[in-house]
């Protein structure tokens, strides 16, 4: 009996050589580390060393998050990944009226360079790779990180890490946007140019399908809309006068990994192949690094359940295995209690231990691309690729990713997929263990981690003290210089850095830009 994949593609009970008839391994597969990178972006993959174990963390105050980071480093994590609270993500200070009730809740509250200094206190920034999940205000947080490094005596050329900096997916699936698309894309291009000159080892964008998947996108939709966004960013940078090979090697991607191992492996392989061909054929990229799709993966938070939360340990292990078999460059494994609240220290440690078991106790790191040549995986790779390319063609027909966003195309497609999944779950066709099958009569009690509501007042007090002791005329002059650059064509990151150095806050810098660029209001808001 034929089953359907998450993308609605058929999965047959048995596969054989016939499914790959006319299939050219040299063209479709290539060698590991060689075009079209179906088998992985590096020749040796994990046989030399495992992926980067990068655990996503951040809550409450900068001091609390700093303690968590040091604990993760002590337990063997290889890279930090910062979660910011909603006010920070939306470019508001902790004492703003709109921030009330959200300070420190889903991430750490960062209002100024002073908070960033506390966040990384005692952590040598030239020895750790840091990823920051921040989008609309990505430039601010990156510059704060650079300023903290300077105060540690570390050159910007030594810094390694990533800013997510993917605002297009915010319009599609997540909603933490600030400015309209046009100035947002200009700001992203400015980040590309600034980092090329000032922070050359930094990954300037992590083009994200994860949040689309969390909103309900199928695997084919996830890579189609993510790569379409990537094309828009490349076009923007090229239109700004940059050579594709000057910035493309620093592009990176961010995907989800679900429990459906076979299709997830196929998805990652198809995404690499599509991007390699797009960069070579559409943009004429000559540097092999410009053609490589390097990506971070996070296990699927949307598949975790509040019911019988310990079962999530199994789900996360399976999802992490799918990411590794698919050739991810770095991985975050979710904690089993994240469907209930912020992870506890113990659950965060268990999530990291899951990766360590995969890396050091299994044999999946012994060989490159273990599924290469598998009838089912190669056929699924072809099928997912074809489905994704069909969606990407529709985006192009609408005029590209931004025009398609304005038409509501991606959002409507994702909502249609989410509705299909919800119907299947409600009917029992899609089994979710502990939710619609194998339930318990009574759930066992669980004590979640809770954020102290006093944090909001503490951050407000820190802001009041900062504003009282800083040189206000210097802040005002720096913000005026930033607005002048925003009105023209100069790179805004240079005056933005000086404003932050003078201790302007996140909210003040974003408000200065709001006055020039305006704010985005979605068309369906009317």
At 268-285, the pLDDT tens digits run 999 999 999 999 999 999
pLDDT at 427 (0 to 100): 95
Q: Which of 378-392, 410-424, 433-447, 506-520 has the lowest mean pLDDT?
A: 433-447
State residue 450's pLDDT score.
78
Measured distance CA(372)–CA(488) in Å, rounded? 51
Helices 311-325, 345-360: inter-axial angle, 10-degree rounding? 40
Q: Which domains, ranges and CATH numbers included, belong to the chain?
A: 3-40+49-427 (3.20.20.240), 455-525 (no CATH)
Give the pLDDT confidence of 180-197 residue by residue, as tens digits. Answer: 999 999 999 999 999 999
3-state SS record for 108-172: ECCCCHHHHHHHCCCCCCCCCEEEEECCCCHHHHHHHHHHHHHHCCCCHHHCCEEECCCCHHHHH
Q: How far is CA 65 from CA 69, 74, 339, 345, 451, in A?
A: 6, 14, 20, 11, 12
pLDDT digits (tens, 9 = 90+) for 212-224: 999 999 999 999 9
pLDDT value at residue 524: 63
pLDDT at 326 over 60: yes
Q: What is the pTM of this model?
A: 0.93
Round to whole Å and give the CA distance between 52 and 77.
8
Q: What is the pLDDT of residue 442?
A: 86
Residue 453: what pLDDT? 84
Least confident of 5-9, 56-60, 236-240, 347-351: 56-60
Q: What is the mean pLDDT of the chain?
A: 95
Q: What is the pLDDT of residue 525?
A: 46
Helix (H, G, I), strand (E, B) or coil at 22: coil
Cα dihedral: 155, 157, 161, 167 (round 10): 110
pLDDT 10s digits, 494-525: 999 999 999 999 999 999 999 999 999 987 64
* CA quadruple 479, 482, 486, 487: dihedral sign: positive
Residue 135 has pLDDT above 50, yes or no: yes
Question: Ramachandran region of residue 381, left (φ > 0), alpha (ψ -120 to 50) or beta?
Answer: alpha
pLDDT at 81 over 60: yes
The residue assigned the tokens 């390699």 is: 276
pLDDT score of 131 more than 90: yes
Q: How confident is the model at residue 198 (pLDDT cuts 50, 70, 90)?
A: very high
């Amino acid at each position: 009996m034929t089953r359907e994949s998450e993308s609605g593609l058929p999965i047959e009970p048995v596969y054989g050589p016939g499914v790959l008839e006319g299939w050219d391994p040299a063209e479709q597969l290539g060698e590991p580390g060689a075009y079209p990178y179906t088998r992985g972006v590096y020749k040796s993959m994990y046989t030399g060393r495992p992926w980067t174990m990068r655990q996503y963390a951040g809550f409450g105050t900068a001091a609390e998050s700093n303690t968590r980071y040091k604990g993760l480093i002590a337990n063997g994590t290889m890279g930090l990944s910062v979660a910011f609270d909603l006010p920070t993500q939306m470019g508001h200070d902790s004492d703003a009226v709109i921030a009330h009730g959200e300070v420190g809740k889903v991430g750490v509250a960062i209002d100024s360079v002073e908070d960033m200094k506390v966040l990384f206190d005692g952590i040598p920034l030239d020895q750790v790779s840091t990823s920051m999940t921040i989008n609309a205000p990505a430039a601010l947080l990156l510059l704060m990180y650079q300023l903290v490094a300077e105060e540690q005596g570390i050159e910007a050329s030594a810094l390694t890490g990533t800013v997510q900096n993917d605002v297009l997916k915010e319009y599609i699936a997540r909603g933490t946007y600030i400015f309209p698309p046009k100035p947002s894309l200009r700001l992203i291009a400015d980040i590309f140019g600034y980092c090329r000159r000032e922070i050359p080892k930094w990954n300037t964008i992590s083009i994200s399908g994860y949040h689309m998947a969390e909103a309900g996108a199928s695997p084919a939709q996830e890579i189609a809309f993510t790569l379409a966004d990537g094309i828009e960013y490349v076009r923007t940078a090229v239109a700004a006068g940059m050579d594709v090979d000057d910035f493309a090697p620093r592009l990176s991607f961010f995907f989800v990994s679900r429990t459906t191992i076979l299709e997830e492996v196929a998805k990652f392989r198809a995404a690499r192949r599509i991007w390699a061909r797009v960069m070579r054929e559409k943009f004429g990229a000559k540097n092999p690094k410009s053609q490589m799709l390097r990506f971070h993966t996070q296990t699927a938070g949307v598949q975790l359940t509040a019911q019988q939360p310990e079962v999530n340990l199994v789900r996360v292990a399976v999802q992490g295995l799918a990411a590794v078999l698919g050739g991810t460059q770095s991985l975050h494994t979710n904690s089993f209690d994240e469907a209930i609240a912020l992870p506890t220290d113990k659950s965060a440690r268990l999530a990291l231990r899951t990766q360590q078991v995969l890396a050091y106790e299994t044999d999946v790191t012994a060989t490159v691309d273990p599924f290469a040549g598998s009838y089912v995986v190669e056929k699924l790779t072809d099928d997912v690729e074809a489905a994704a390319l069909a969606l990407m063609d529709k985006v192009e027909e609408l005029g590209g990713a931004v025009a398609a966003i304005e038409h509501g195309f991606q959002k409507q497609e994702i909502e249609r997929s989410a509705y299909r999944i919800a119907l299947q779950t409600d009917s029992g066709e899609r089994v979710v263990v502990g939710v619609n099958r194998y339930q318990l009569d009574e759930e066992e009690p669980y004590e979640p981690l809770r954020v102290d509501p006093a944090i909001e007042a503490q951050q407000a007090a820190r802001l009041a003290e900062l504003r009282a002791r800083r040189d206000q005329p210097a802040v005002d002059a720096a913000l005026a210089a930033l607005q002048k650059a925003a009105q023209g064509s100069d790179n805004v990151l240079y005056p933005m850095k000086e404003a932050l150095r003078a201790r302007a806050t996140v909210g003040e810098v974003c408000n200065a830009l709001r006055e020039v660029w305006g704010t985005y209001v979605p068309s369906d808001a009317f």
